[in-house]
Amino acid sequence: MGHVMSPSAGDPDWGRAPSPAVLLTGFEPFGGETANPAAETANALHGRLLHPGFLVQSAILPVTWDGAFKTLVRAAGAIAASRPLGAVIMLGQAAGYPAIGLERVAVNTANGKDSSGSERENTPIVALPDGGPPAYFSTLPLDIIQRKIEAAGLPAFISDSAGTYLCNYVFYAFMHYLATVWPEAGAARRPSPALVAGKQPPPPAGFVHVPYLPEQAVGKKPIPPSMSRSDIERAILTALAVTAETAAGPP
Ligand code: PCA
């Protein structure tokens, strides 16, 4: 049920200070599908080295209210134990999306039956008494990502709702985690003066929805939009590269 991949072979850091990592997550297939384009993309890009020295490290999340966020936090912690976590891009499948959907906002509510049969109905993700804010914005450079994906000849748009199912859930829960827990969690694992002083900003993070693969559209009525594996992969690689460049700052 979900898994965190081991560091890739041929680690480019051997004998050097570790380069930062971008955590890239996908979800297991769900809802009767045998594939999830988000998982396939995360698997395909695991171990890629991006231009400013960022290493892509992937994890696959279960489509369960109990397991998804735990697996995500475990993956982020596993990375942070050995190298700086430079950015986090979470991927999910969005039935009906005709293009790469760059999610702008995560909301504090959960709905729907997960892969284990457990159901949420308008349930706050972070409930009172502590409470969480109604929403979090993505901290990825969405406008630049959209422009770069379009410049590569692929359609992308900024979406104002990631829904209220598992994708919105991990998006919201992780942004809340970064806002409330991460600096201390990071400092505990990897003491650094900046972290201890609480000056280290959380890594940029956000969610990207991808369309069905063409074979998932076969046999459905009406026929939903889809995008090829290689096009999705190229678009997400572009999103990763832009995020790494902006996270690295000016040379
Ligand atoms: N898409 C679902 C959850 C898992 C996935 O890939 C969603 O959009 O919430």
Percentage of the chain exceeding pLDDT 90: 77
Our answer to whether residue 28 is catalytic in this structure is no
Average pLDDT in the chain: 90
Q: Are 106 and 135 in contact (CB under 8 A)?
A: yes
* Residue with tokens 């991460």, as numbered in its chain: 182
Number of H helices, E strands in the chain: 8, 11
Which tens digit of pLDDT belongs to each residue from 92-146?
A: 999 999 999 999 999 999 999 999 999 999 999 999 887 899 999 999 999 999 9
- Tell me which of 209, 215, 233, 245 is the catalytic residue: 209
The β-bridge partners of 156 are: 100
Q: 92 alpha carbon to ligand 1 midpoint, in Å? A: 5
Name the region of 151 (left: φ>0; alpha: ψ -120 to 50; beta: rest): alpha
pLDDT of residue 6: 57
- Tell whether the model's pLDDT for residue 1 goes beyond 60: no
DSSP-derived 3-state class of residue 3: strand
Q: 82 alpha carbon to ligand 1 midpoint, in Å? A: 29
pLDDT of residue 15: 59
Which tens digit of pLDDT belongs to each residue from 215-236?
A: 999 999 999 999 999 999 999 9
Percentage of the chain exceeding pLDDT 70: 86
Q: Report which protein residue has its CA nearest ligand 1's atom 9.
A: 167
Handedness of CA 71, 118, 121, 163 (dihedral sign): positive
Number of Cβ atoms within 10 Å of the Cβ of 46 = 19
Asked whether 225 lines ligand 1 (CB < 6 A), one says no
Distance, in Å, from the CA atom of 24 to the CA atom of 5, rounded to the nearest integer, reads 11
Which tens digit of pLDDT belongs to each residue from 6-17?
A: 555 455 555 567
Handedness of CA 116, 117, 118, 124 (dihedral sign): positive
- 96, HSE (Cβ side, Cα atoms, 13 Å): 5
Lowest mean pLDDT among 55-59, 80-84, 179-183, 197-201: 197-201
DSSP-derived 3-state class of residue 161: coil
Our answer to whether residue 121 is catalytic in this structure is no
Our answer to whether residue 103 is catalytic in this structure is yes
Q: Are 146 and 157 in contact (CB under 8 A)?
A: yes
Q: Which residue has the higher pLDDT, 249 or 33?
A: 33
Which tens digit of pLDDT belongs to each residue from 164-198?
A: 999 999 999 999 999 988 765 444 444 444 444 55
pLDDT of residue 189: 45
- Tell me which of 28, 103, 176, 245 is the catalytic residue: 103
Ligand 1 atom closest to Cα of residue 166: 9
DSSP state of 146: H
CA 52 to chain centre: 20
Distance, in Å, from the CA atom of 10 to the CA atom of 86, rounded to the nearest integer, reads 20
pTM value is: 0.90
The residue among 196, 178, 166, 176 whose CA lies nearest residue 63 is: 166
Test site for ligand 1: of 30, 60, 93, most ligand atoms within 8 A of the Cβ:
93
